[in-house]
A and B are shown apart, each in its own frame.
Chain A
């Protein structure tokens, strides 16, 4: 149980285009979902927290107009990178938790590698 999927696993896009990444909780209802960014050989950096049906809370320094997050249902959150540029190339990871999560445990997706040309 507690499986989180992400789609796509890899995406390559041209500079200036927008890219949408989906995060789904497959066998549980995710009251809260999180989006992280990870640069090579570095730790996970929290970008934003989203609760179903409400606006996402962005971490300081993260541009909310560039990284659009929508948590439309209890099983789906999307991250859209708008007008992507090469510096947006990174590994994006989502995670999810439920109200029944023991010890505030988060379940992580497998990540999406974004390459902007």
Chain B
């Protein structure tokens, strides 16, 4: 069965600094998608970034980028120039291409220190 592991329950970073959130996953599939979702205090889930497993190039979205290591089954999220609005719960998630289910990690709560 596929699993997603986030080993950092909480992290803190100084405003304007860079922080990296870790995520590892386990799968025997070769075709799948990986996501990072943000859940702010409003509880609304927001897609931050998405990576297709068949793409070697790491996805980037403005200040957010990933380090996708397929062989190591690692998918970390780097947030550059951290802002107060980045404070939230971040969930790493996995989705197999032919299966609709999204499997979520347990989340990392990110605190931004002013």
Binding site for B on A (CB under 8 A): 32, 34, 38, 41-44, 46, 49, 91, 93, 95, 97, 103-106, 108, 110-111
Scoring A38, A43, A108 by chain B CB atoms within 10 A of each residue's CB, the highest score goes to: A43
Contact A43 B106 (CB under 8 A): yes
Q: How many pairs of residues, A versus B, come closer than 8 Å at their CB atoms?
A: 47
The listed residue (A91, A95, A97) touching B43 by CB distance below 8 A is: A91
Contact A103 B42 (CB under 8 A): no
Contacts of B46 in A (CB 8 A): 108
Contacts of B33 in A (CB 8 A): 103-104
Contact B43 A42 (CB under 8 A): no
Binding site for A on B (CB under 8 A): 33, 35, 42-47, 50, 52, 91, 95, 97, 100-102, 104-107, 109
Contact A110 B101 (CB under 8 A): no
Closest B residue, CB atoms, query A49: B100
Contact A105 B47 (CB under 8 A): yes
